[in-house]
Amino acid sequence: MVGVSDQTSDQTSGRQSERRAAPVGRPLLSLTLAAIMDDVGAHSGAVYLLAPGEQVLEMAVMAGLPRAFAAPWERVGLSAPVPVAKAVRDRRLVWVGGEEDMARDYPRIAVVLPYPFALAAVPVATERAVYGAIFVTWPGTRPAELSDRERDHLTAACGRLALRLERAAEEGHPVRPEPDLLAPASAATVAGTLGAVEAVRMVARLPYGLCALDLHGRISFANAAAGELLGLPVSALLGSHLWACVPWLNDPLFEDRYRAALMGQQVTSFVALRPPADWLSFRLYPSTNGLSLRISRARSAEGTDRTGQQPGDGGSRLVTMSHVLNLSGALTKAVGVQDVVQLVADEIAPAVGSQALVLLGSQGGRLHVLGHRGYPDPHAVERFDGMSLTAQSPGVHALSSGVPAFFESRRQMERLYPEQPPTQDGMAAWAYLPLIASGRPVGTCVLAYAEPHHFPADERAVLTSMSGLIAQALERARLYDVKHQLAHGLQAALLPPSLPSLPGIEAAARYLPATRGMEIGGDFYDLAPTPGGAVAVIGDVQGHNVTAAGLMGQIRTAVRAYTTVGQPPEEVMSSTNRLLMDLGSELFASCVYLRLDPAHGQAVMARAGHPPPLLRRPDGQVRVLDLAGGPLLGIDAAATYPTTQVSLAPGSVLALYTDGLIESPGADIEEALARLAGRLTEIGDQPLEELADALVRHSGTELERVDDVALLLLRSA
């Protein structure tokens, strides 16, 4: 059972009523979490709240385990592949029954926490809003299925919490994060049975060492035998972590056993060598309020089988592996080359103590610098750029041979490559990792160290295995960057590079591709002069891909051509519609076409299934123009497109846009259009370029878009 502070603890008889109606002023999250864990017999859990203005869940309180266990998931994006985010996205309880389920459904969590435990994540939501999520965990020994009673308790408790959070928000008192809860010491202690003095005497007589560890792994009690076996006075042990105060236990392998005991609530053990030749056996007995540790002498044969090497030889092996495994999952989501560079710099380099890195690509028989981090003088990496693949250098040799090279000192580098000019990068050790993807060399990753660095065998193995993952990510990223540049080049070629300067008309435009996919789409706009005025067009071809962009270019060219030969607006639309039908495309397009006559303050418009333009009059009033029109282009070859004449007084602003500016999943289009009109009313007097930026920002599509956005603003002088 998880305990709470004195302020929140209650007698059993009053606990049920506290669960039903915890006042908002009390530690609501802590009380709720403790009650849920008590109800379903969970041994740890956490409450997440949605961060204000972000699509992010932030851990507000954790119970039963140190927060360090969940440190990688203190802030979780709603799109992240973790149970609490999925619970919010799907608005349902998510159950992970054990190690196999976790490894199958959430591999990135499984590699960081490879322990036997079950987990349930539940959204904290009302019918109107989502406020966050809760997860709780059980030892791996529990049944693999969640019972109906447990499911009902979890969902009901989260529903009640959501209602209280909703009430708090309505009253202007949003709930804040609270201190984490750790379990108190058990009341059923030996001291409580025998008396403190006799308990100490009994423990002192035992022939093996005994220690008590709290949930953070700190030693709160140790008998004299423990101090003797560990070679330290008891006073030096108290309040410290075992693996920190005992030098020969400073290996993440041993700390991992403590984590495994707490997460799985199962007895774990390990053996370790106390220099020079004494093997000791450590056995951890966990509970929900800490661990008991028994230390005894072990046979050397058993110790050799279990550990086989000095703890110090392993360096920071498990820490490195944890970072590497995190990176392997993150690399699958890296999009561009700079994403790969940043991930390696953030994850791998710090884990192995590297201070700088260079990522090199091979193309045209030469090496090229794709990115670098950490060098005090960025010009130090220029020596790599353009280096021939026939040069005698460690970077070239690693790439051509496929064998990594490790140089523990500058002297070792100079001995093996005497003809290479001395490096001026200020570094003293290097690891050159070949990047081989699909059997083909794609580059080299160079990790540099400010001081001489020993590369243990396990660290070399980790770096060598990671180079394959980096290579795969780099190959995908370079391919994406090439496609991305091609797509943007195509998009730029199909849209007008700039708007013409026209008498009596001021214009501004914005185009934003969808942020998913190749960031290219079928939205378009154009403005062109005509005798006595100008024509403007805005449209949206179905889809946001290369096909849509190509069709958009054809439509824009056709509109210009039909305008040039003198067709009136209704015929321009009809001719473009027939052309689209003749092309045999399965895509449709919406469009608004208008002919401007600024000298007479008039505009003639035709519409084909497109959102209605907005007209802001000089007095600030905004009107939605309910234009006559016809169906989408490309549906009916016989369709007609009647026109509407609109008066444009000097100072009027005409806003033409595509549906990406006002549409978003779950949003009401009428409300979105009303908000856009309201914003245009408020700030329509701004300079047109500033107004265009402000309208895009107000729409919420500046950073994340599921559809393309085009906006064309026209102001009559």
Task: Tell whether the model's pLDDT for residue 376 goes beyond 60.
Answer: yes
pLDDT at 460 over 80: no
Residue 633 has pLDDT above 60, yes or no: yes
The more confident residue out of 99 and 483 is: 99
In 477-567 the beta strands, taken as DSSP E runs, fall at 505-512, 523-530, 533-541
Q: What's residue 18's pLDDT?
A: 38
pLDDT reading at 446 higher than 90: yes
Give residue for tokens 């990223």. Answer: 477
What are the backbone dihedrals phi and psi of residue 144, each rounded to the nearest 5 degrees, phi first? -75, -15
The answer on pLDDT for 390 being more than 50 is yes
pTM: predicted TM-score of the whole model, two decimal places = 0.43
- Mean pLDDT of the 286-300 span: 83
Confidence at residue 98, expressed as pLDDT on a 0 to 100 scale? 87
Confidence band for 154, pLDDT divided at 50, 70 and 90: very high
CB atoms within 10 A of CB 497: 6
User: 327 with 348: CB under 8 angstroms?
Assistant: yes
Alpha-carbon span 374 to 11, nearest angstrom: 57
For the record, the structure tokens of 665 come out as 């999943």
Task: Tell me the average pLDDT across 2-25.
Answer: 38
14, exposed or middle or buried, with CB in 10 Å at 0-12, 13-18, 19+? exposed
Tokens 């960081």, residue located: 112
Name residue, tokens 């060098």. 375
Whether the per-residue pLDDT at 300 is higher than 80: the answer is no
pLDDT of 160-197, one tens digit each? 999 999 999 888 888 889 988 875 444 344 444 445 56
What are the strands, taking DSSP E only, across 155-299? 209-213, 219-222, 268-274, 278-287, 290-297
Predicted confidence at residue 14, as pLDDT, reads 40
- 638: its two tokens: 């016989």
pLDDT at residue number 12 = 37
621: confidence class by pLDDT, cuts 50, 70, 90: very high
Rounded to whole angstroms, how far apart are CA atoms 360 and 382? 11
Residue 611 has pLDDT above 50, yes or no: yes
What pLDDT, on a 0 to 100 scale, did the predictor assign at position 24? 45
Q: How far apart are CA 268 and CA 312, in angstroms?
A: 22
pLDDT bin (cut points 50, 70, 90) of residue 515 is low
What confidence score (pLDDT) does residue 186 get?
42
Mean pLDDT over residues 689-715, rounded? 80
Assign 118 a pLDDT band (cuts: 50, 70, 90): very high
Q: How many CB atoms lie within 10 A of CB 533?
A: 19
The mean predicted confidence, pLDDT, of the chain is 81
> At residue 463, does pLDDT exceed 60?
yes
Tokens standing for residue 521: 């789409």
Structure tokens at 281: 């056996």
15 falls in which pLDDT band (50, 70, 90)?
Answer: very low
**% residues pLDDT > 70 (the chain):** 83
Q: How far is CA 40 from CA 33, 84, 116, 146, 151, in A?
A: 11, 18, 18, 10, 9
Instruction: Tell me the C-alpha to C-alpha distance, in Å, between residue 432 and each of 102, 278, 314, 371, 408.
Output: 35, 39, 21, 15, 11
| pLDDT grade for 21, boundaries at 50, 70 and 90 | very low
Q: Which of 404, 400, 510 is nearest to 447 (CA)?
A: 404
Ranking 111-115, 122-126, 388-392 by mean pLDDT, the lowest is 111-115
Q: What value does the mean pLDDT take over residues 118-137? A: 94
The stretch 343-362 carries a mean pLDDT of: 84
Rounded to whole angstroms, the Cα distance separating 71 from 163 reads: 28
Report how far apart, in Å, the C-alpha atoms of 637 and of each of 563, 572, 609, 628, 629 are.
Answer: 19, 13, 15, 18, 15
Which backbone phi and psi does 473 adopt, to 5 degrees? -65, -40
Asked if the model's pLDDT at residue 641 lies above 90, the reply is: yes
CB–CB of 625/615 below 8 Å?
Answer: yes
Helix (H) or strand (E) holding 436: strand 429-437
Q: What angle do CA 619, 672, 125 make, to 5 degrees?
A: 140
What integer pLDDT is reported at residue 81 of this predicted model? 86
- Percent of the chain at pLDDT > 90 equals 31
pLDDT of 17 > 50? The answer is no
pLDDT for 317 equals: 42
pLDDT at position 141: 85
Q: Does the structure show a pLDDT above 70 at 336?
A: yes
Q: Report pLDDT digits (tens) over 41-80.
A: 999 999 999 988 888 999 999 998 888 888 888 888 898 8
pLDDT value of residue 471: 85
Q: Confidence class of residue 438 from pLDDT cuts 50, 70 and 90? A: confident
pLDDT number for residue 348? 76
Banded pLDDT at 663 (limits 50, 70, 90)? confident
